[in-house]
Amino acid sequence: MTPPPATVTRFAPSPTGNLHVGNIRTALHNSLWAEKHGGRFLLRIDDTDAARSEERFVDAIRADLAWLGLSPDAEVRQSERFALYQARFDALVATGRIYPAYESAQELDLKRKIQLGRGLPPVYDRAALALSDADRARLAADGVAPHWRFRLDHASPIEWDDRVRGPQRFDPATMSDPVVRRADGSWLYMLPSAIDDVEMGVTDVVRGEDHVSNTALQLQMFEAMGAAPPRFAHAALLTGAEGKLSKRLGSLGVDHFREQGIEPQAVVALLARLGTSDPVEPFATRAPLVEGFDFARFGRAPARFDEGELAQLSARIVHQLPFDRVADRLPAGMGAAEWDAVRPNLTRVAEAADWWQVIEGPIEAPAAADDRDFLIQAADEAGRINWIADPWHVLTGALKQATGRKGKPLFLPLRRALTGLDHGPDMAQLLPLIGRERAVARLRRAAEA
């Protein structure tokens, strides 16, 4: 018995702009599915549109995937595969599945308007198939170059079992024969993509539901090439926080998330679960996301993307990050002990610099006229106590016994004098980092303010 082929997925962006959150979600789904099944995740740069494709966007795509921790196992570029497309194209022309059509854009637009005016679907009427060899020769002599269409087989419905949407059925007679090549010889998306999926051994195509009708057309292309089609999964599209499709989602990408101080793993954790029956959780690693990834758990309703939810998730992930995951983003000199002390109070890693300033100083403590004697006493006590074990509890215990203060009147003046703030990390962790010398000096300075 022949074993099933290893799972191969692909992410196929066009380098005509930066990746947005919808693209990122598609890339992530492909990566997680391949990883779960021990397969391969491929990056295909769809750069057949030479006029709009730019190398800077290719570099940006690679950088964005790297920031998110997505590592393709291989990369191919469509612009380097034109000979392959030509060979498949010629074979399909020879069998009559691709044919030349000569209508101008204006003529096609007029035909559609007439059909709509008659209450008919605007489906291409296949007039080009009625042309004789003499007709085509005359058009060529007049300098009219054809565009090329893939001829759909109307004999039977197009059907497949989608991993997300379930059983799908399309009547090819209600669909126009798709244009696969322009009159100038350039390629449109449909045919090269199907050819690549065959040649690259793609077993699973994972993309948004806006490609469902494309899938119906491409399934006949796979059949015409004598190739087994991949399995398809079409995830519901994202909506904005306002509850409808949002143009803003098209502008949200890695650059925006990075500027906002969002952790890449937060983007991964949110987009992996968004639209599924599983709760969004602050997983600081990919492992549980890979293990639980299952298209059967995806719903068909649009998934709501909320930047506020992402920010909260990111903060919860920051609270889990070990020092070695953030060391290169912390101020020089800040170590594991300092990170562990301030981490619970951060929403972004960059905020650690503010607390490093609190530890290292100098700080500006608010005036403390009502607590002057208390702070002088605290400075004296801080200079006498043992700092080896737990100086905060030793200091506050001694002051409580000596002054009778407790609760906020005891703790708040000390926190203000030592940090300049009314709130912050646990002082039991922070005070040893400030150290005896700085602590005594700050207490005396606050008493003199």
Tell me the CA distances in angstroms from 214 to 157, 209, 305, 315, one per residue in order: 15, 10, 25, 39
Dihedrals φ, ψ of 167, to 5°?
Answer: -60, 130
Dihedrals φ, ψ of 259, to 5°?
Answer: -65, -30
How far apart are the C-alpha atoms of 101 and 148, rounded to whole Å? 6
How far apart are the C-alpha atoms of 152 and 155, rounded to whole Å? 9
End-to-end CA distance of the chain: 85
DSSP 8-state class, residue 4: P
Burial of 413 (0-12, 13-18, 19+ CB in 10 A): buried
- Beta-carbon contacts of 11 under 8 Å, excluding residues fewer than 6 positions away, are 26, 27, 30, 31, 41, 42, 43, 44, 65, 72
Strands (E), 7-95: 8-11, 40-45, 74-77
Dihedrals φ, ψ of 288, to 5°?
Answer: -65, -30
Write down how long the chain is. 449
Q: Which tokens sit at 247? A: 């143009």
Q: Which tokens sit at 341? A: 């002390």
Residue 280 bridge partners (DSSP): none
Residue with the two structure tokens 């021990």: 38
- Other Cβ atoms within 10 Å of 81 Cβ, number: 18
Q: Which tokens sit at 365? A: 């403590």
To the question of whether residue 406 is assigned a binding role by annotation, the answer is: no
CA 48 remoteness from chain centre: 24
Amino acid at 5: P
Dihedrals φ, ψ of 241, to 5°?
Answer: -65, -20
Burial of 235 (0-12, 13-18, 19+ CB in 10 A): buried
- Beta-carbon contacts of 78 under 8 Å, excluding residues fewer than 6 positions away, are 44, 45, 46, 47, 48, 187, 192, 196
Residue stretches of the annotated binding site: 247
Residue stretches of the annotated binding site for ATP: 247
